[in-house]
Amino acid sequence: MTLERLSTDILILGSGGAGLFAALHAHKAAPDLDITLATKGLLGKCGCTRMVQGGYNVALNPGDSIERHFMDTIEGGKWLPNQELAWTLVTQAVVRVRELENEVGCFFDRNPDGTLHGKAFAGQTFDRTVHKGDLTGIEIINRLMEQVWKRPGVRKLEEHRALALIPARDGVSVSGVLMIDVRTGGLRFVQAKAVLMATGGGPTMYRYHTPSGDKSMDGLAMALRAGLPLRDMEMVQFHPTGLLAGPDTRMTGTVLEEGLRGSGGYLLDGAGRRFMADYDPKLERATRDVVSRSIYAEMKAGRTTPNGGVYIQMSHLGPKQVAKQFKGMVDRCRDCGFDLAGGLVEVVPTAHYFMGGVECRVDTSTEWPGLFVAGEDASGMHGANRLGGNGVANSTVFGGIAGDTMPGWIAAHPGERTPDEAVLAAEIARAEHPFGKPAGNVHALRERLMDLMWEEVGVVRGAAGIARGLDGLDAIEAELLETGVADGNRAFNLTWHDWLNLRSLVETSRVIALAALRRENSRGAHFRSDFPEPGDLDTSTYTVARQGAGGLAITDEPVQFTIVRPGQSLLDVREAAE
pLDDT one-digit tens code per residue, 364-411:
999 999 999 999 999 999 999 999 899 999 999 999 999 999 999 999
Which residues are within 8 A (CB) of 270 and not within 5 positions of it... i.e. 6 or more apart? 303, 304, 305, 306, 310, 311
Give residue 354's pLDDT: 93
Q: What percent of the chain has pLDDT over 70?
A: 99
Q: Which residues pair with 129 in a beta bridge?
A: 57, 119
- What's the one-letter identity of residue 271? A
Q: Which residues pair with 186 in a beta bridge?
A: 181
Nearest to 64 by CA among 140, 116, 134: 116
Q: Residue 72: in which H helix or E strand, if any?
A: helix 66-76
Higher-pLDDT residue of 196, 202: 196
**Alpha-carbon span 157 to 69, nearest angstrom:** 37
Q: Grade residue 45 by pLDDT with cuts at 50, 70 and 90.
A: confident
Least confident of 68-82, 189-203, 234-248: 234-248
Give residue 344's pLDDT: 95
Q: What percent of the chain has pLDDT over 90?
A: 82
Give buried/exposed letters for 369-402 (b at 16+ CB in 10 A, else e). ebbbbbbbbbbbbbbbbbbbbbbbbbbbbbbbbb
Give residue 578's pLDDT: 67
Known active-site residue 239: yes
Does 133 score more than 70 pLDDT? yes
> Is the CB of residue 225 less than 8 Å from the CB of residue 547?
yes
Give buried/exposed letters for 189-214 (b at 16+ CB in 10 A, else e). bbbbbbbbbbbbbbbbbbbbbbbbeb
Which residues are within 8 A (CB) of 534 and not within 5 positions of it... i.e. 6 or more apart? 78, 521, 522, 523
Nearest to 394 by CA among 411, 374, 412: 374
Known active-site residue 497: no
Higher-pLDDT residue of 486, 509: 509
Mean pLDDT (the chain, rounded): 93
Give residue 215's pLDDT: 87
The number of angstroms, rounded, from the C-alpha of 371 to the middle of its chain's C-alpha atoms is 19
**Alpha-carbon span 263 to 292, nearest angstrom:** 18
**Alpha-carbon span 252 to 259, nearest angstrom:** 19
**Interval 180-207 mean pLDDT:** 95
CATH 3.90.700.10 in the chain, residue ranges = 240-352
Supply the DSSP symbol for 93.
Answer: H
Does 1 score more than 70 pLDDT? no
> Residues 50, 68, 131, 261: which is the catalytic one?
261
Higher-pLDDT residue of 33, 578: 33
Q: Grade residue 212 by pLDDT with cuts at 50, 70 and 90.
A: confident
**Alpha-carbon span 245 to 236, nearest angstrom:** 23
Domain 436-532 class? mainly alpha
CATH 1.20.58.100 in the chain, residue ranges = 436-532
> Residues 25, 131, 209, 239: which is the catalytic one?
239
240-352 CATH, one of 3.30.2010.30, 3.90.700.10, 3.10.580.10, 3.30.390.50: 3.90.700.10
Give residue 576's pLDDT: 72
